[in-house]
Amino acid sequence: MTSLMILMFLFMPQADLGQAGFSFENGNQLYQNGKYEQAISQYRSVIDLGYESASLYYNLGNAYFKLNDIGHAILYYEKAKKLAPRDADILHNLKIARVYVVDKIQVPNPGFIIKQWNRLITFFNTHQLSVMMVAFYIFFLLTLILYLVIRKSHIKSLIKFLVYPSAFAFAVFLLLFLLRLDYDRNHQRGIVLEEKVTVMSAPSEDAKEVFSIHRGLELIITDQSGDYYRIRLADGKEGWLPGSDVGRI
Amino acid sequence: MVFKYAKMICLLLLLTLPVQAQTVQITASVDQTTLAVNQQLVLSVELTGEDANRITSVPPPDGGDYLRFYGSRGTSQNIQFINGKTSISITHTFVYMAVKAGSYTISPVTIKYKDKTYQSNSIPISIVKTGTSSPGSRSENREDDSEDLFLRMLTSKQRVYPNEPVIVTFRIYAKVSVTGINPVQMPETTGFWAEEFDLGTRLQTQNEVYKGVRYAVADIKKYALFPTSPGKKTIGPLTLDCQVRVRNRRQSKDVFDSFFNDSFFSRTVTRKISSKPVAIEVLPFPATNKPSEFSGLAGRFDLNATLDKNNVKTNEGITLRVRISGQGNISIIPKPDLFIPADFEQYEPTVTQNINRSGNGISGHKTFEYVLIPRFPGQQRIRPFAFSYFDTGKKDYVTLRSPEFTINVEKGDEEYNSGIGSGFSKEEIELIGQDIRFIKLHSPRFSPLESRFYQSFYFVALLVFPALLFLLALAYQRHMEKLNKNRAYARRRGANRLARKRLSQTKACLGESTQKEFYSEMSRALLGFAADKLNISSAGIISTELEKSLKARGLDAELVDMYIALVQKCDLYRFATTSSSREEMEQAFKKAKEAIIKLEKAL
């Protein structure tokens, strides 16, 4: 059963992959000719096929930026950043796009230690952390196995030197990975896509208005009820808004 | 005697009298309500009103069995002109003698004038027997021990809701001449928010009949006390030092004495008087129908919210004014729970309040002024806000709502980009106008959407498979170790038995003809024993190798040397032609046995 699944995974999407690459190239061509709307539909067709990549999201973000849709531009830059957290182009364009966000939220300075801690957690994305964790895990077990199996004493002592560092590296990445999973669960981020969104006190249309936010603002989705998201801003303000006004990163 | 009482009445009449117009009013009062038998009682009947001086005859009220009418002390007049109106008061004074102990009510004085009948109040008095007139019984109906000077605390209500004001008046009652008042202790008002009334710098003196006795009264202090929380509370007493002029009263009926009892001959004494504390019960607000906006205010209020203009341009200020006026504790009116849309820049409101502390309650208004600056064009709404209070008259909650404001914001003249908010940081200003970096052209490696390696089958497999391998390796290592350990153990255990067997074989070969076999067996016994003990291969072992191994085990060098020497000796006789005697062989056998025992012990 599982082997069948692997086979399906390996062979089935080959035709689609070709199509995805073709659409991507098409989109790039349209972008260069200034036809941003058509470029966007080409890029989006790749996503509709079930594929994603940092470059694809980055290009989509650029196309939206050119159309002055800051909300979608930031959303796709953020998606790109999630896949490639240290790509200089993505970071640069994201910074420029954020200038045009209307709401300037005063985020209380979290302090040096918390800032560094968040940097550490978000330095690698979850995928990278999981790969590294597994790599060190295998390396560590391999050294252990060799240590147990090999009987020649001089090779054994050499291997012994490798066991401890690999165990340490594995432990560090395991911890980082688990912390990152926890961080991701508590930081389901979203971007405001509508020009102006009124945040309500409850998940219904006739609830009391609490405050309003504008296109491109980043927020954290803390809960969901029907079509409404419960959100929290960086400065701690909370409320409910229609889920359709927000794009999940 | 006559002179004395007339003078006293004149003194009373020097005080301002309340103005009563159109009708005639009759008030009766006595100088004391508790008196002893054979004491005099002075009854004053005061007629006030425009027509008071037309009534010439006032019949003295009946004294019954208890009081004997002594006679009239005459009349005194007091005419006042206030704002063009004339007010006249005429006092008729009668003197009675108490003749019988007991409680008696002096019946009202009835006067017929212009076909109308006017009636005064009735006065209850009690007459005690001479000598039983103790201070306790005298002060029974009094606020203070002293009958002629005391302080009362008058409260408007004794059961109130939180923040419903209790009007507390400290009123001095005097039948003596008071020349100075000096507060010693201010009333304790813990648990209340106190607003003091402005009574002016001069005390307003009035006449008041209290329990049938006429006093000169004046309000010393007046407060509006707002209880802060429900429960039983006490308003503490006010203590005053009063300068009182006293005459040197002598029990003499001499006319000349009365003459010298003039104020000129009086002296001033200081008397300390206090009011009694009053308990106030503060009821909790009813729990039913309590609005969510309710903030604890009680009284009666009005809400007025105005906006100075409805059409503005961006970055122009508008003023929203919220005014709450009414009766109640104005000072604690909270800031309205106003929701200003985020598209407005807003500042803290300026708050002004005006409290009127005169009259019969605390009233006033509080105004909150919000300056709002719209930053974005479009139609903006300011939602109505609610203000809730407890109406103490209706005993119910009242919620007032402000109107909803709609503001049309037009784009201002000044350079303004709706896409960019205000307040850029230095870093951001540098970024404005910068172009974004170009798209990535090379075809990327696509991965399936939302595919997460750490949730995939591979991830689990990569975690489980090496773990299985490791367990396998661990099992292998354990097996090998056990095997190793067991073989050495077995050999060590079998070494003694084997050595004994070989030695007995050696002994069988003892004899000159079997010399070679003898030494060969002995050599095998010695070498085999050591090899088994050390768990090394005994086949092809040579003495030098054995010596090294034994010494490596840290054995005594002497023992090792002896052991090796024996082995070498065996080898020598085994292969050499030199023969050894039977005794020599026996000795060698004995030595070998000893050596094995020693080695056994050493290992």
Question: What is this model's ipTM?
Answer: 0.75
pLDDT on residue A80:
93
Q: What are the Cα distances from residue B462, in Å, to A132, A169, B207?
A: 12, 17, 105
Report residue B54 as tokens. 């037309």
pLDDT on residue A92:
92
Tens digits of residue pLDDT in A121-136:
888 888 889 999 999 9
Task: Tally A–B CB contacts below 8 A.
Answer: 131
Cβ atoms B235, B186 nearer than 8 A: no
pLDDT on residue B143:
40
pLDDT on residue A173:
93
Does position A202 have pLDDT exceeding 70, yes or no? yes
Largest pairwise CA distance in chain B = 184
For residue A13, list chain B residues with Cβ-Cβ distance below 8 A: 448
Does position B130 have pLDDT exceeding 50, yes or no? yes
Tens digits of residue pLDDT in B483-495:
777 777 777 777 7
Rounded Cα gap, residues A193 and A248, in angstroms: 10
Does position A85 have pLDDT exceeding 90, yes or no? no
Would you tell me how many other CB atoms lie within 10 Å of the CB of residue B264? Answer: 6
Would you tell me how many other CB atoms lie within 10 Å of the CB of residue A67? Answer: 14
Q: Taking residues B164-169, report their average pLDDT.
A: 87
pLDDT on residue A170:
93
With bands split at pLDDT 50, 70 and 90, how would you rate the model's confidence at A8?
A: very low
Rounded Cα gap, residues B234 and B191, in angstroms: 9
Of B160-169, B177-186, B229-238, B271-280, the poorest mean pLDDT is in: B177-186
Measured between CA atoms, the residue of chain A closest to residue B422 is A102
Most confident of A19-23, B287-291, B585-589: A19-23
Closest CA to A133 of A100, A195, A164, A179: A179
- DSSP secondary structure string, B299-316? EEEEEEEEES-SEEETT-
Q: What are the Cα distances from residue A154, in Å, to A160, B131, B184?
A: 10, 127, 102
Q: Taking residues B379-387, report their average pLDDT.
A: 83
Interchain proximity A52–B449, CB inside 8 Å: yes
Of A212-221, B25-34, B257-266, B295-304, the poorest mean pLDDT is in: B257-266
With bands split at pLDDT 50, 70 and 90, how would you rate the model's confidence at A28?
A: very high
With bands split at pLDDT 50, 70 and 90, how would you rate the model's confidence at B201?
A: confident
How does strand B278-282 pair with strand B159-160? parallel
With bands split at pLDDT 50, 70 and 90, how would you rate the model's confidence at A140?
A: very high
Would you tell me how many other CB atoms lie within 10 Å of the CB of residue B51? Answer: 14
In chain A, positions 131-190, which contact chain B (CB-CB < 8 Å)? 131, 134, 137-138, 141-142, 144-145, 148-149, 151, 177, 181
Interchain proximity A51–B442, CB inside 8 Å: no
pLDDT on residue B247:
65
Q: With the C-alpha atoms ordered A229, A231, A237, A241, is the resulting torsion angle positive or negative?
A: negative
pLDDT on residue B266:
67
Q: Taking residues B80-95, report their average pLDDT.
A: 76
pLDDT on residue A191:
94
Among partner residues A68, A96, A211, which is closest to B434 by beta-carbon distance?
A96
Does position B476 have pLDDT exceeding 80, yes or no? yes
For residue A131, list chain B residues with Cβ-Cβ distance below 8 A: 453
Tens digits of residue pLDDT in B552-562:
777 778 888 88
**What percentage of chain B reaches a pLDDT higher than 70?**
85
Q: With the C-alpha atoms ordered B507, B511, B514, B517, is the resulting torsion angle positive or negative?
A: positive
Does position B576 have pLDDT exceeding 80, yes or no? no
Most confident of B166-175, B258-267, B440-449: B166-175
With bands split at pLDDT 50, 70 and 90, how would you rate the model's confidence at B234?
A: confident
Q: What mean pLDDT value characterizes chain B? A: 78
Does position A157 have pLDDT exceeding 60, yes or no? yes
Asked if the C-beta of A211 comes within 8 angstroms of chain B's C-beta atoms, the answer is: yes
CATH dotted code for A189-248:
2.30.30.40
Interchain proximity A96–B436, CB inside 8 Å: yes
Measured between CA atoms, the residue of chain B closest to residue A213 is B342
Q: Taking residues B567-588, report their average pLDDT.
A: 78
Q: Taking residues A30-39, report their average pLDDT.
A: 92
Measured between CA atoms, the residue of chain B closest to residue A24 is B443
Would you tell me how many other CB atoms lie within 10 Å of the CB of residue B265? Answer: 10
With bands split at pLDDT 50, 70 and 90, how would you rate the model's confidence at B259?
A: low
| Domain range A2-99, its CATH number among 2.60.40.1170, 1.10.150.20, 3.40.640.10, 1.25.40.10 | 1.25.40.10
Q: Which amino acid is at B49?
A: G
Report residue B523 as tokens. 């050599």
- DSSP secondary structure string, B145-208? S-SSEEEEEEES-SEE-TT--EEEEEEEEESSEEEEEEEEEPPP-TTEEEEE----SSPPEEEE
Interchain proximity B457–A47, CB inside 8 Å: no
Closest CA to B96 of B128, B131, B61: B61
Tens digits of residue pLDDT in B386-436:
888 888 888 888 888 888 888 888 876 654 444 444 556 666 777 777 788
Rounded Cα gap, residues B156 and B235, in angstroms: 13
Nearest-Cα distance to chain A for B295, in Å, is 19
Report residue B559 as tokens. 């023992």
Q: What are the Cα distances from residue B154, in Å, to B157, B277, B280?
A: 9, 10, 12
Most confident of A173-177, B85-89, B221-225, B300-304: A173-177
Does position B2 have pLDDT exceeding 80, yes or no? no
- The DSSP output letter for B140 is G
For residue A100, list chain B residues with Cβ-Cβ distance below 8 A: 419-420
Is the model more confident about B550 or about A20?
A: A20
Sorted by where each begins, the domain ranges of chain A are 2-99, 112-186, 189-248
Closest CA to B221 of B233, B244, B204, B242: B204
Cβ atoms B265, B248 nearer than 8 A: yes
How does strand B311-313 pair with strand B267-274? unpaired
pLDDT on residue B588:
82
Measured between CA atoms, the residue of chain B closest to residue A196 is B343
Pick the residue of A14, A82, A148, A213 with the most B CBs within 10 A to test the interface with B by mutation: A148
Tens digits of residue pLDDT in B522-545:
888 888 888 877 777 766 667 777
Is the model more confident about B347 or about A88?
A: A88
Can you list the domains of chain B with their CATH numbers? 1-140 (2.60.40), 142-284 (2.60.40), 298-410 (2.60.40.740), 482-602 (1.20.120)
Q: Which amino acid is at A148?
A: L
Does position A10 have pLDDT exceeding 60, yes or no? no
pLDDT on residue B139:
34
With bands split at pLDDT 50, 70 and 90, how would you rate the model's confidence at B249?
A: low
- The DSSP output letter for A96 is H
Pick the residue of B340, B343, B439 with the most A CBs within 10 A to test the interface with A by mutation: B439
